[in-house]
Each structure stands twice: as C-alpha cells, then as structure tokens.
Amino acid sequence: MELNEKTYETYLLSYIDNELSHSERLMVERFVKSEPKYTAALKDLQNAILQPETIVFEDKALLYRLEEMNASLDLDFKKSLYRTETATPTTPVISLWNRNVLRYSAIAALFVLTIGTAIMLTSNKDKAIVLSANNSIPEAKKLIGNINDGIVSPTQALNSNQPSQVLAANTKSSVQLVGKSKTEPFQPISIGVEHTIIASSSNTLFDNKNTLDNNTTQVVEAIEAVASIEKVQINKDVDFSPVIQNTYQAESFEEINTSEPDRVIYISSIEIDSDKIRGFTRRINALFKRNKSDKQ
C-alpha cells in the first residue's frame, strides 16, 4: 500500500502501534517531515497513547502456592526461619482464684496456730504439774513409810521443816490433779498414767474415805496415788486431817453469768480480751462478705 494523502492515517496508526517494518517506519518518518500537518496528525495520535502506570495487585499471597515454594526452598534457609525459644525469665502468674485460696488458707493457718499454741501452753502446764508430782514421789514415799512405821506422826510430819514442805507441795499438786478429775470428764489419755492410777485406786485402799470431808478426800486420794504407784501400804487409821487442814486452802467457785456481754473469755488458762476478739471476728466477717460480693 502506497503512502499518500488518503492512506497516511493508516500508516500513522500502524506506526504508533509499532506494527511497521523498519523500512516502512523510515518511509513514514520521511513523509511526516515533508508536511507540517502530517507532523501535527502524528502528534495528535501519539497523544492518544496511554502511558503505562503502575498498579499493584496487593493480594499476591492468595495466588502463591506456598507448598511448592516450601518444597523448593533450601533446607538451611528454612532452618534459618525457624523460631527459637530463648530462655527468658517468666513471671509466675497466680490466678485470682488461687489468691483467694491462699488468703483463706493464711487465715485458717493463723487460726489453727493460735488454737494450737493455746492447747500447747495448757498441756505444758498440766505436764509440769504431773512432773512435779512424779519428782516428789520418792520423798513422799519416804514420808509415808515413816508414818506407817510410827516413826513420824502426820502432825510431826507437818511440823517438821523439810519433809512437811515436800508433802505440802506434793499434796497441793496432787490435789489439783484430783480436783481436775472431779470437775472434768475423765480423760485417761489426756491426763496421763498417774491420774488413771489415782482414779482407780481411790476406792480400794481407804474404807473410811466417806468420813472425811471433801478436801480431805482429795488429799488422801493424792497421797494414795503416790503410794499406789510405788505399791506402798498405807495405814488406814492414820489421820491426815491436820495435814490437810494446814496445807490445803479450799477453793471457791463463782457461777458465771453467761448473758453478761462484757464477761471475760478464757481459753484454757489464757485470758482473752473479748473486745479484741470481737474486732478480729468482725474483720474476718467483713473480709468474707467482701469476697462474696466481689464474686457476685
């Protein structure tokens, strides 16, 4: 096709579409330079060509076949991508439930510790009394033996210095033990072997026990207990009443008005300040109520 006035537009269009051969392109370029209107026509057509612009498809990750990429990757490269755990110090995490358990456990442990301390102090006191009685057994035995042999009368024994003091001390201790056995339920395990022997032997050795007053009975039981432990026979006709009257002071008891709000509270032999106890219990109750409301 010849390049002329009628066909030049087709040539120009093929020229801008880069569809001409090298010789045809040179021919068109010469033709365009021959006339300014052809140059303007080529310029207008070139203005109609789109200039490439960059538009990125951002979802390429959806298109990749990762299993194939993974298979094609080098093993060392893949190993370099592995995440390695470093030894970092971890802070212990305690859940709220465990904190409450720990708090309640601490309160319970404090309560148990208090009760345990009180019981331990009480048991040590009883043990000290028993030990005191046991330690004086040989001397009491010696004194009772002298009484039975007629060497020393109970009154002389009382008036003499050293033995009478021993007897008085022993008697007082023993009376306390016996007194406990009469006012409290009989507990062989908690009191000890000595107390059991006292209780069991009190009705067998003395026939005239009923003629004695209450205080005398207690003292006789105590001495009897000491004697029975060492299997010493005591003369039934010996009158212990002077000894008892001089060595034992009768105890007086007062009935406690339990309805009185300000009464003193005793746990074992420990006096407890009731106001402080009430404050303590009030705090514990408030703590429990607060935890309960928090959970709700």
What is the rounded (10 degree) CA torsion for 261, 263, 264, 266?
Answer: -90
The least CB distance from residue 82 to another protein, in Å, is 22
Comparison of 21 and 293: residue with beta carbon closer to another protein? 21
**Alpha helical stretches, state H, 48-153:** 60-63, 66-72, 75-81, 96-135, 137-148
Handedness of CA 58, 62, 67, 68 (dihedral sign): negative
Q: Using an 8 Å Cβ cutoff, are 221 and 178 in contact? A: yes
Q: Using an 8 Å Cβ cutoff, are 48 and 54 in contact? A: no
Comparison of 16 and 197: residue with beta carbon closer to another protein? 16
The least CB distance from residue 99 to another protein, in Å, is 51
Comparison of 68 and 237: residue with beta carbon closer to another protein? 68
Give whole-number Cα distances, 241 to 72, 153, 169, 176, in Å: 114, 12, 16, 17
The least CB distance from residue 25 to another protein, in Å, is 15
Q: Torsions phi, psi of 194, nearest 5?
A: -60, -45
The least CB distance from residue 96 to another protein, in Å, is 47
Of the chain, the end-to-end C-alpha distance in Å amounts to 96
Comparison of 4 and 54: residue with beta carbon closer to another protein? 54
Q: In the complex, which residues of this chain contact another protein (CB under 8 A)?
A: 9-10, 13-14, 16-19, 44-45, 47-57, 59-60, 62-65, 68-69, 71-72
The least CB distance from residue 3 to another protein, in Å, is 16
Comparison of 53 and 262: residue with beta carbon closer to another protein? 53
